[in-house]
Structure 1
Amino acid sequence: MHHRPITLLSLLLGAAHSIAARPTFQDERSSSSSISLSASVPDDAALPVLHPFVSFSIEFAFFPDFAGNLTHPNLFSNHLLDNLAELQGAKSYIRVGGNTQDFALYDPNLRAATNATYITSISTDYPLILSFGPAFFESYFTWPDTKFIHGFNLGKNSSTDIELMLESVPVACKALEGGKLAYWELGNEPDLYKTSAQGIRRPANWTEQDYVNEWLNKTARIEKRLVEACPELADSKYIAPSFAGVTNSLNPVVTWEKGLDNSRNIALNSEHNYIGGATQPGVTLQNTLMNHTKTVESVAQQVNVSRRAWTVQFIRGCTLGVDFNLYCASQNIRRTHMHQGSNYNYISWQPVGTNRTSIGTKAPYYGNAMVAAMLHGGDDVRIVNLPLAADTEAAYAAYVNDSLVRVAVINLVEFNYTSTDSIAEKVESRPSAKYTFQLPSSGSVYSDSVSVQRLIANGSNAITGITWDGWSYNYELAQGKPVRLQNVTIGEAISVGDDGVVEIEIPYSSAAILSL
């Protein structure tokens, strides 16, 4: 996975699509249109999301940082995962993989969890030489009630490298027995093996058929080791192909057509998404990250590819942001795994203190919390995009068991609260937008008010003081456990008009959920 810049308001990353309305702004730009809501799930709605939906991907080399070990489990990380489990109803699935998955070689004699060497002329973000030993697998025992996706190395391809990968299979399966295994994964972003700046892994003439043949051969050899060591996991499934995109050196549609799932051992079609890179010309907070249209365009390519994956459901890796995740949910992307790594710019939390980054909860985590709350409801939660007019806004409806239960509204207008000499004055004068919703008029009974939960910070460039529904998850307060702040409004309710109309004001760079 390649790094992408995520600032504080990446928790409001953009995208939307489907019903019609324009908000009323406090700065006098107004419209009387309202967003009509359907009492039951529209015919063109996406399938229910997988439960849990909000999940994570953790860079292989840094998994011991995030999870700890049997002697020193990372309680902070577990508290944060427990918070999301409380909100969405199930604990996040954890993928252990990423770029370093394809650098990692098993060393049965290594006493430490990992032995890492950085080649700073190529990357300072993660090690390019990596060994892991039996102690690495202690990290799979530190987070109760958690299911994992363990990534095997496909990138290194010598006979010795392959044998070391196979030697790790019994150790991995023993660690993941007893219901901890969700899926396996073999290889990370193989569509970049011929072109990667971190090192070329395959010759220029390596084709989709070559990849498929290699994948089928190696998964068969893994299965043989599973039969010997963990027979109850012998028929366990994979996520694949875990491509970096849809326009790289391997075509995902051709890959499926060449028989990637001939062994019928792929449970989920896994693809990765990048909205924009730090060195990519023209990338800005407002026009790229906090932009609904950009999100729609970014997701659309992979949704089109996923329709060609036939029998496999679709999940998405490396995504961040409320709007991004909810738009994915509205487009038949059944689960998202947001990528994490120690010292990465866009992470939801920094699991340990380093000489580069202090331990702590980061802004994207609060967006994760809002998405989790929006998707609460078990195995039949469906998200419908409510199309709005501007790039800087999005709205979604959540249906549980075919009934409308929640609406999310996201304002993506960049609000930089440090752009004036007086921060207090700037925050006080923060603009807001008014959104109007028309509740269903027939066959539905709603109360005379709706409750409101808000995702709020001082602005799009704030790095502290962020809350979801008045809760802080800061490490400094209770090591990630929820703490209700006294200076934040909670228990807000909005009256429903006699005509079934609800109006809500959303400050710039914030979001809210209305529970009906």
Structure 2
Amino acid sequence: MLPSLSCPACFCLGAFFPSLLYAQSLSLSPSPSRAGASVSDNLDPSFAGFGIEPSNLFSFTGWNDANNFSIRLLQNLADYSGAPPHIRVGGNTQDYMIYDPDYQDFGWKRNPNISAQGAIAADSMIIGPNYLAALDRFPAGTYITYGLNLAYKGSDYLDRIATHAEAVVNNLKNTRLYSFEIGNEPDLYLENGMRAAPWDGKIYTEEFMERADTVYQKVLKPAGMASMFFEPPGTASTIGTTFEIGMLNNNGILNQMNGEYYVGWWNQHDYFYFIGVTPTPITLDDLMDMDQTNTQFKYWEKQVGIALDTGVPYVLREMCSVGPIGMHQVSDTFGASLWTLNFFMYMATLNVSSVQMHMTDNSNASAWQPITKYGKSPFVRPNYYAHAAVAQIIGNGNGTTQIGALDVGDAGGDYTGRIRAYSAYANNALQGIIMINSKQANESVSNKGSFTFNLNWGAENANKKIYLSYLTAPGADSLTGTTWNGITYSDLDGTASVVDASIYQLELDGNGAASVSVRDSEAVVANLDWQLGTNKVTKVDGSTTSGSRRKNSGAKAITGADTAIWTAILISSLSLAASLGSL
């Protein structure tokens, strides 16, 4: 958070403290107007969402009593963005579940009369009305993508899927049913015993269409709901399979059936790394190399493009840094939070409409642990803070609705792959710049380096102020101590507390320029004219919430006192350098 200085003495000192003084820099000149920028479509405030494994739903919602810790954490994000994060209830276990209207417990039970196929039978779990009552506890207006069972193929399979869908439609009152996902990762059905050969994308298309038509004709149409309410294919990986979007399109999945179109979104799944599948080991430093993320998702970028060319939106409904349940000291660290922030921004620039980070109650990659597990009480992980950052960046209080990628190709040396920057636009004008420095610097490093972003906001913004919000922690490997915009979240009840009420600001010069130093393993958002989180937010129900970060009349400019402190450090360091030089 210290200002950059330029002086002849720095060259001498750099020989002894290169990480301290030779911080590299990059100049960025985003278009001041949206008209001159390459940016995303308007982002929905629920864009940065979550996926919950169906078998784990009650861990997050509560059983007989509501899980107010989870609910508070979700409500925080709704208060920031204007809408709760979109939640997908889906995963492997959706293809094990059958609905029984007579089962009244808050929970699920094992089916004592299994008859279906599968390595884990497609009718092995029973749920009832209170499964949906629990889901309805989430914040008002929460969008729900609900996973229905495609794997079950008993003689009554159409009746069962219609009964289940009707129960969802009729019982979600507080939350808002957004779409149905029919089947989870059907590209894996052969290996998990859900289908026998022959099985491919063409047969899947036929089964998907039949079930979608049944649910529409028996449930959605009588309820006055739209037919384009379904999401295929929910695949784990389409590379080298017959489940690629182009292939499914050729198979007719976007065609009419009985005079209706059923596909409203293309749905795919992926992970940056999956234990037991990815052949090489992973380290935190690997995760923090943002170039590796681009390499991993090069194929998915192509899939997104193919999907959008069909005129149907693309959603990434199951995503995570490390699957299936994360990795301690990798996916639960602050470094993973920086990865999460970057990933959301990256997906936005590709025009992915929604991203759900998958959660289970035992995953080291989940944004929070919702119940006591392995002797450890519920707590908030650093990843949650990235969700909070995105919610405030795209929230309607800020007015930001479009994101663009900025060229950081000139960042080299130790910072190759570690620097990312994005522009944020609101009301057709540049509103913010997101800067990420993912060079790994752990807690144990006392003198962390930094990277300087020289920002040119354009002459039309000359002499205006920018306000800095920090996503930071003691180090990349930190499991605790993360803050976003001076805010921390309670492990007891999920409430937000402002632990640093200072407002960090810089004044742009007469050309609209300023430099911002971002510490290694840190992210900074510069916002024009006001501090993120200080504006009122209009919620989906039309009500408003006050700014999530209280205003401070004594704003802290990154000049003056900080410069004096930095100068003192510099003089002290020069003295030490001189002493070393005389030895």
Q: TM-score, normalised by structure 2?
A: 0.75
Tell whether 2:477 aligns with 1:483.
Answer: no
Alpha-carbon RMSD across the aligned residues, in angstroms, is: 2.6
2:426 — aligned with what?
400
Higher relative contact order (CA 8 A, sep 6+): 1
Tell whether 2:543 aligns with 1:509.
Answer: no
Tell whether 2:189 aligns with 1:193.
Answer: yes
Tell whether 2:268 aligns with 1:271.
Answer: yes
Work out the CA distance in 1 between the residues paired with 2:175 and 2:227.
Answer: 14
1:509 is aligned with what amino acid? S
Work out the CA distance in 1 between the residues paired with 2:132 and 2:370.
Answer: 18
Cα 1:345–1:208 change in 2 (3 A) is: same
1:173 — aligned with what?
169
Work out the CA distance in 2 between the residues paired with 1:452 and 1:64.
Answer: 38
Work out the CA distance in 1 between the residues paired with 2:375 and 2:187.
Answer: 31
Whether contact under 8 Å (1:430, 1:507) holds in the other structure is yes
Cα 1:43–1:494 change in 2 (3 A) is: closer
1:244 is aligned with what amino acid? A
What SS does structure 1 have at the residue aligned with 2:195? coil
What SS does structure 2 have at the residue aligned with 1:233? coil
Whether contact under 8 Å (2:468, 2:524) holds in the other structure is yes
Whether contact under 8 Å (2:438, 2:522) holds in the other structure is yes
Tell whether 2:58 aligns with 1:64.
Answer: yes
Whether contact under 8 Å (1:46, 1:383) holds in the other structure is yes
Work out the CA distance in 2 between the residues paired with 1:507 and 1:409.
Answer: 10
Cα displacement (A) at 1:174: 0.5
What SS does structure 1 have at the residue aligned with 2:523? strand
Tell whether 2:473 aligns with 1:457.
Answer: yes
Work out the CA distance in 2 between the residues paired with 1:40 and 1:176.
Answer: 42
Cα displacement (A) at 1:84: 1.0
Work out the CA distance in 1 between the residues paired with 2:188 and 2:198.
Answer: 13
Cα 1:392–1:188 change in 2 (3 A) is: same
Tell whether 2:447 aligns with 1:435.
Answer: no
Work out the CA distance in 2 between the residues paired with 1:26 and 1:495.
Answer: 27
Cα displacement (A) at 1:446: 4.9
Q: How many pairs does the alignment contain?
A: 466
What SS does structure 2 have at the residue aligned with 1:50? coil
Whether contact under 8 Å (1:329, 1:383) holds in the other structure is yes
1:141 is aligned with what amino acid? D
Tell whether 2:466 aligns with 1:445.
Answer: no
2:248 — aligned with what?
255
Cα displacement (A) at 1:457: 0.9
Whether contact under 8 Å (1:435, 1:504) holds in the other structure is yes
2:485 — aligned with what?
469
Whether contact under 8 Å (2:461, 2:512) holds in the other structure is no
Whether contact under 8 Å (1:395, 1:407) holds in the other structure is yes
1:113 — aligned with what?
106
1:383 is aligned with what amino acid? I
Work out the CA distance in 1 between the residues paired with 2:491 and 2:23.
Answer: 41
Cα displacement (A) at 1:278: 2.7
Work out the CA distance in 2 between the residues paired with 1:190 and 1:98.
Answer: 11
| CA deviation map 1:73-105 (0-9, x unaligned) | 222112111111122221111111111111112
The 10-residue stretch of structure 1 (109-118 or 293-302) with the greater mean CA deviation from structure 2: 109-118
Cα 1:234–1:314 change in 2 (3 A) is: closer
2:230 — aligned with what?
238
What SS does structure 2 have at the residue aligned with 1:101? helix
Work out the CA distance in 2 between the residues paired with 1:514 and 1:128.
Answer: 51
Cα 1:150–1:403 change in 2 (3 A) is: same
| CA deviation map 1:180-204 (0-9, x unaligned) | 2111111111112123xxx221223
1:14 — aligned with what?
none
2:511 — aligned with what?
499
Tell whether 2:51 aligns with 1:53.
Answer: no
What does 1:384-399 correspond to in 2, within 5 Å?
384-388=404-408, 389=411, 390-399=416-425
2:291 is aligned with what amino acid? T
Cα 1:380–1:432 change in 2 (3 A) is: closer
Work out the CA distance in 1 between the residues paired with 2:427 and 2:294.
Answer: 26
Work out the CA distance in 1 between the residues paired with 2:286 and 2:184.
Answer: 25
Cα 1:360–1:286 change in 2 (3 A) is: closer
What does 1:92-111 correspond to in 2, within 5 Å?
92-111=85-104
Work out the CA distance in 2 between the residues paired with 1:501 and 1:445.
Answer: 9
Work out the CA distance in 1 between the residues paired with 2:68 and 2:497.
Answer: 16
Identical-pair percentage: 24
2:126 — aligned with what?
131
Structure 1 stretches of 5 or more lacking a match?
1-24, 119-126, 419-425
Cα displacement (A) at 1:32: 5.9
Q: TM-score, normalised by structure 1?
A: 0.84
| CA deviation map 1:201-246 (0-9, x unaligned) | 1223212110100000011111233058x52336361222211123
Work out the CA distance in 1 between the residues paired with 2:301 and 2:193.
Answer: 29
What does 1:7-406 correspond to in 2, within 5 Å?
26-30=19-23, 33-41=26-34, 42-68=36-62, 71-116=64-109, 129-143=124-138, 144-176=140-172, 180-195=176-191, 199-226=192-219, 231-233=223-225, 235=227, 237-247=229-239, 249-252=241-244, 253-263=246-256, 264-279=261-276, 280-309=278-307, 310-317=310-317, 318-319=319-320, 321-355=340-374, 357-377=376-396, 381-388=401-408, 389=411, 390-406=416-432
Cα 1:117–1:342 change in 2 (3 A) is: farther
What SS does structure 2 have at the residue aligned with 1:323? helix
Whether contact under 8 Å (1:246, 1:301) holds in the other structure is no
Work out the CA distance in 2 between the residues paired with 1:43 and 1:508.
Answer: 28
What SS does structure 2 have at the residue aligned with 1:266? coil
Cα displacement (A) at 1:178: 7.4
The 10-residue stretch of structure 1 (183-192 or 209-218) with the greater mean CA deviation from structure 2: 183-192
| CA deviation map 1:336-369 (0-9, x unaligned) | 1111111112001112223465311111100111
Cα displacement (A) at 1:371: 1.5
Runs of 4+ in 1 over 6 A off after TM superposition: none
Cα 1:291–1:201 change in 2 (3 A) is: same
Cα 1:275–1:179 change in 2 (3 A) is: closer
